[in-house]
Amino acid sequence: MDSRLNFSGKIAQGLNHLHFKSISSTNDFLEDLVLKENLKNGFVISADFQTMGRGMLNNSWFSESGKNLLFSRLYLPNHLEVQFQFFLSKVVASGVRNGIQQLLPGENVKIKWPNDIYVNTKKIAGILIKNHLKNKSIQQSILGIGINVNQQHFPAELNATSIATQTGKYSSVNQVFDIISEHLDEALGRLELANYEFINKNYHDNLLGLGTWMTYLHRGHSFEAKILEVTAEGQLLLEDRYGKKTGYEVKEIALVSVQPV
């Protein structure tokens, strides 16, 4: 469906996925739509192209038209207290990673903290989650997901790859959506069951750099450290060469290179 007109009635009849040729941002659109319509858990907005695709830390998300998977899914938790909100990030990252791993068997598909998806040293997918809180609980969440499917040329500074680059073949973006959605259903189901131990294990088993010495940058100072864990609050817990353990927030630290030292 390409028209923005007349979908209100269709939503009332149970339509749960709207696709646009071009949109500002699927995240922004869904955030706006949820205020106006009675949307069900799992409602999806997808697009061939975004004129203002949003990335983490106020960055933009660029994607050639029609080549990649760009979608936002509404998640309405049964009950998720705010202190568990990073578990949502962990399950979404794990779900997307597991789906990409199915599409790229034999490849090294990893989660780069907090929730980027990498194949070896290159980024294949990004996730942008926006939670809406009410009385210390998550009332609703917009899960924005961008996966590079058929695009093969990226600006060098993005350090990106795609399913087509990895396999040498084009894939159906709809089929990729179906596979990722199945894995997301499964991962979000684990959150509903409060299966936190499993969620943590699945996240850490696939976390890039866990226990590996790598170079990090904090306030202009670079140092070697290894990841001990990503805490329940979402902090990256690092241990440096002197044995000092420090937890960092996303904005405070950058990985200099995904190569081990």
Binding site for ligand BTN (CB under 6 A): 25-27, 50, 53-56, 59, 61, 70-72, 116, 126-128, 144-146
Q: Looking at beta carbons, which residue is closest to ligand BTN?
A: 126
DSSP string, 239-256: EETT--EEEE-GGG-EES
Give 213-224 as a DSSP string: -EEEEETTEEEE
In the complex, what is the shortest distance from the CB of residue 116 to ligand BTN, in angstroms, rounded to a whole number? Answer: 5
Return the number of the residue (95 or 146) whose C-beta is nearest ligand BTN: 146
- Which of 217-220's residues contact partners 24+ apart within 8 Å by CB, and which partners? 217/253, 217/254, 217/255, 217/256, 218/248, 218/252, 218/253, 218/254, 219/252
Provide the minimum distance between the beta carbon of 244 and ligand BTN in the complex, in angstroms, as a whole number.
29
CA atoms within 13 A on the CB side of 77: 28
Residue number, 53 or 77, with CB nearest to ligand BTN: 53
Supply the minimum distance, in Å, between the C-beta of residue 55 and ligand BTN.
Answer: 3
DSSP 260: -
- How is residue 212 written in tokens? 């590996």
Smallest distance from the beta carbon of 30 to ligand BTN, in angstroms? 8
Residue 55 or 247 with smaller CB distance to ligand BTN:
55
- Comparing CB distances to ligand BTN, the nearer of 77 and 126 is 126
Least distance CB 195 / ligand BTN (angstroms): 25
Pick from 189, 212, 187: nearest CA to 202: 187
Contact partners, residue 122, CB within 8 Å, separation at least 6: 159, 160, 161
| CB nearer to ligand BTN: pick between 146 and 209 | 146
CB of 110 closer than 8 Å to CB of 124: no
Q: Which is nearer to ligand BTN, 55 or 234 (CB)?
A: 55
When the beta carbons of 112 and 218 are compared against ligand BTN, the nearer one is 112
Shortest Cβ 32–ligand BTN spacing (Å): 12
**Minimum distance between the CB of residue 242 and ligand BTN, rounded to whole angstroms?**
32
Give the start-end residues of each E strand in 25-121.
44-50, 69-75, 109-112, 116-119
Cα distances (Å, whole numbers) of residue 117 to 12, 95, 162 = 35, 11, 11
